[in-house]
Amino acid sequence: MKKKSLGERLKSLFQRGVESEELFEELEDNLIEADIGPRVTMEVVSELRERTRQERLSGREALLGALKDILAGYLKQTELALVPEVLNVFLVLGVNGVGKTTTIAKMADFYRRKKEVEGVVLAAGDTFRAAAIDQLELHGSRLGIRTLSQAPGADPGAVIFDALISARAQGDRLVLADTAGRMHNRANLVAELQKIHRIVESRCPDCSYRKILVIDATTGQNGLQQAEIFHDAVGVDAVVLAKYDSTARGGILITLGHRLGLPCAFIGRGEKYEDLLPFDPDMYLNELLGLI
Ligand code: GDP
């Protein structure tokens, strides 16, 4: 059975006209169910309680309006605009299976088609899995975008270094680099990412270099743990929420914004290239809370 969305749950909660304390308790459960996470939920609900009391709020509209306002203060957004005149490097991070390769292809398509950026290239930095290299190359050939890769097992730092040299030589504007995401071997993963990070920083000091973390909307609060690991390892600049095809969950963006200060740049809502949308906090909150 399809899980009810937070918006649907809130609607029935308000329709029942429950007393305020019961309402706040149920609201807590509902926000946790929507992946906002217990700690952030407690803060949200206590702020809402306080505002309800101080501003004497009552009724669905006033309460949902205040809730939306509080959540908006927790959410962070970034446009991830390309810096002109320099080579932009996006190192794309994430655990295997979250939708990283697909997201790279979607972003390449987005910048080229929507932003009319010429000279977008892909770098196959997940050399651990032969399938990841093949998949990136397949996307590259479908999109007519150059993919720079080496044989499986090659040093990912070398692949990305070569990609930077090649992109500079060709006057490209954007390198989207894939990375491995083997979570079961966390120490190796972190060491490898730190090495790549040092290479990009030292070999391309005049590049605009950003680290983008892909989070799977269906993995719930695991997303917070994943973000902490990648953020600690190399520092994350922006998040892409993949597989956000339904609004049943997705509150993780509020947790990531509030706990780690991480802004969201895009959300992925399907498997097609055009299913990547720039993150719109107002639309996201309206959908999450069932306000549309
Ligand atoms: P990676 O291992 O992180 O590189 O993950 P992939 O890019 O290979 O994606 C794993 C699966 O998720 C593939 O079947 C993708 O088609 C699918 N996928 C990726 N993004 C989305 C999305 O936004 N919505 C849906 N429904 N599926 C997605």
Residue 13: the pLDDT is 80
Lowest mean pLDDT, pick from 26-35, 233-242, 275-284: 26-35
pLDDT value for 114: 86
Average predicted confidence (pLDDT) for the chain:
93
Q: Is 271 in the pocket of ligand 1 (CB under 6 A)?
A: yes
Residue 103 CA to ligand 1 center (angstroms) comes to 7
pLDDT of 173 higher than 90: yes
Using CA positions, which residue lies closest to atom 20 of ligand 1?
99
Single out the residue of 131, 229, 122 nearest to residue 178, CA to CA. 122
| Mean pLDDT calculated for residue range 253-261 | 96
What backbone phi and psi angles, to 5 degrees, belong to 166? -65, -40
Q: Which range among 167-176, 211-220, 243-252 shows the weakest confidence by mean pLDDT?
A: 243-252
Pocket test for ligand 1, best of 96, 100, 102, 241 (most atoms within 8 A of CB): 102
| Residue ranges of domains in the chain, CATH in brackets | 6-74 (1.20.120.140), 88-288 (3.40.50.300)
